[in-house]
A and B are shown apart, each in its own frame.
Chain A
Amino acid sequence: MMKKVEFVALAVGAIAAICAAIFLDSGLQFLLCEVLVLFLMAQMWNLAAGYAGQISFGPQMFVGLGGYALYMISNNTTIPVWVVMALVPIVVGLLAIPLGMVVFHLKHAYFAIGTWVAAEIAFQFVIKTPSLGGSSGLVLRPGGEMVEGYPEKTVVAVALFASVALIVALRMFLRSRLGLAVLAVRDNETGAEATGINVRRLHLALYTLTGAGIATAAALYYSTTLFLTPLDAFQAKWAVELMFIVVVGGLGTLTGPAIGVALFIGLREFMTANGYSGDQYWIIMGVLAIAVLLLLPQGIWPALTTFYTRMTRGNTQ
């Protein structure tokens, strides 16, 4: 059931999306695209890691699959890019099912490392395969034609609405029976199975769903860059960024990734604007992550809510 606030949020999101497409200049639109794409991916990684306990070092597998699915289908068929975009989650989701069945033989640390290696295998495979563009990558040419105009105009609107819709959808999901099952599995896995939940199938469903989600976000992103290299798509940088965003913001909360993205990009823009180097920015991010984990191991958002409830309780007594 959708609640009133969620309905309002969706409406506001739709209006904001249209405004962003019309009124923002294209530099800002490009930045916003990046922010929103990272948010979408972080929320997906968070659903897998924070709710289902699937901490993976290999989300770049799905970034790559999403990007390559978009480019390969668009370039080699006459299907419009926007239709391909809608096909990406289906294609990648179908690939994720057998992949998930393999990697779910692995647990904990083995799973994290195994998913990373799987992504690395995909990367090396693309590099070795000339029909996929090899190591030099691909240029987006839908139906063989160059892209005209500024795709970020539409992408920013879609990504903004998708971000709001995703939060609403996740809230609804967590209230549903299946969402309850996810929370139960997070709390106690064998206990959950003993209530009749098919834990394996649930894990696989979440893996597929989050993989397809990351791939779709990646497809949105690479539709604005107009070219795609395997080194960029399959690099572990994606895992690093998503982990930062989610862990610092608050693993296993819906608001945490939003805070994480805001910090991550906000600090970067601030530091670049003031003449600091990329390395200096990452040093600060690293220190920030260490400090947050040592002082507030749950992340910023859970710490804030705990602080807030303590404050209000303190006032009423």
Chain B
Amino acid sequence: MAILATENVSRQFGSVFAVERVDLTLNAGESVGLIGPNGAGKTTLLSLLTGDLRPSSGKILMDGKDVTSLPLYARVRAGIARAAQIPKTFSRLSVRENVSLPAFFGAGLAGDAASEWIDEVLEMSGLSDRAGKQAGALGLLDRKRLELAKAVASKPRVLLLDEVAAGLTEPEIASIKEVILRLQPNRAIVWVEHIPFALQGVCSRIVVMDKGSKLLDGPFDEVWASETLQSTYMGT
């Protein structure tokens, strides 16, 4: 059974469809790259999955159960977490406190189990030496790492990544990618990114969106070679 699925979901802002009649199925352990031009509706689709936004119509299923009206915090506890395009770190709290919150409230950990897991996440995301620092004082790369670490710390079964590599240099992307590869075995991933290099080697399947609709959905190489993709991006 699919771990997460959308059935015909749409989301309108005023009269504009940001997401229109999208069916998407995600199986356990699968990594999907989600691509499409600016404004295609990728972030909106992720927001529908996390519960930040409610769909105008359609359903969202988790393990076959309808979770469409489940609030944001409950979906985090159920195992959906996102690293947002615009990092939502708590600037007045320390890096460690930032990571502790999802470990406590998302993953439901306490005591030694919590602190061990928090240490592990900090280690994995390369933030151990900055654990005591205020999050507001971090640079871009570290803020992106922290956003990723926060998502991971809630022990999600579905990890949604929204442009976690955007704005980074190639070696920096490689270091983020390493983190993601270490996470991959146990969980499904949906990764939105404009940079093919980032998705390569992580995502075996690619979904293409444009103007709110899903255009293509298939194996990495097949989608990459398709003419529809070329025309979507070239505007022909």
Physical contact A–B (CB less than 8 Å): yes
Which one, A183, A184, A195, contacts B76 given CB within 8 A? A195
Q: Please encode chain A, from 144 to 185, with 1 for each CB lying within 8 Å of some chain B CB and 0 for all others.
A: 000000000000000000000000000000000100110110
Pairwise interchain contact B93-A184, C-beta atoms closer than 8 A = yes
Pairwise interchain contact A196-B92, C-beta atoms closer than 8 A = no
A189 CB to closest chain B CB, in angstroms? 10
Pairwise interchain contact A198-B88, C-beta atoms closer than 8 A = no
Q: Please encode chain A, from 177 to 218, with 1 for each CB lying within 8 Å of some chain B CB and 0 for all others.
A: 100110110011011111111110000000000000000000
Which one, B72, B89, B101, contacts A180 given CB within 8 A? B101
Which one, A177, A188, A198, contacts B73 given CB within 8 A? A198
For window 38-94 of chain B, which residues contact chain A by CB distance below 8 Å?
50, 52, 71-74, 76-77, 81-82, 84, 88-93
A-B interface pairs (CB < 8 A), number: 74
Pairwise interchain contact A196-B52, C-beta atoms closer than 8 A = no
Total number of A residues with any Cβ neighbor in B under 8 Å: 17
- Tell me whether A194 and B88 are in contact in the complex, defined as CB-CB below 8 angstroms, given that A180-B97, A184-B93, A199-B73 are known contacts: yes
A287 CB to closest chain B CB, in angstroms? 31
A159 CB to closest chain B CB, in angstroms? 33
Q: What are the residues of chain B within 8 A of A196 when measuring CB–CB?
A: 73, 76-77, 101-102, 104-108, 154
Using CB atoms and an 8 Å cutoff, list the residues of chain B in contact with chain A. Answer: 50, 52, 71-74, 76-77, 81-82, 84, 88-93, 97, 100-102, 104-108, 110, 150, 154
Q: Could you list some 28 contacts between A and B, CB below 8 A?
A: A177-B100, A177-B104, A180-B93, A180-B100, A180-B101, A181-B104, A181-B105, A183-B90, A184-B90, A184-B97, A187-B91, A188-B88, A188-B89, A190-B52, A191-B88, A193-B71, A193-B73, A194-B50, A194-B72, A194-B73, A194-B81, A194-B88, A196-B76, A196-B154, A197-B101, A197-B105, A198-B71, A198-B74
Using CB atoms and an 8 Å cutoff, list the residues of chain A in contact with chain B. Answer: 177, 180-181, 183-184, 187-188, 190-199
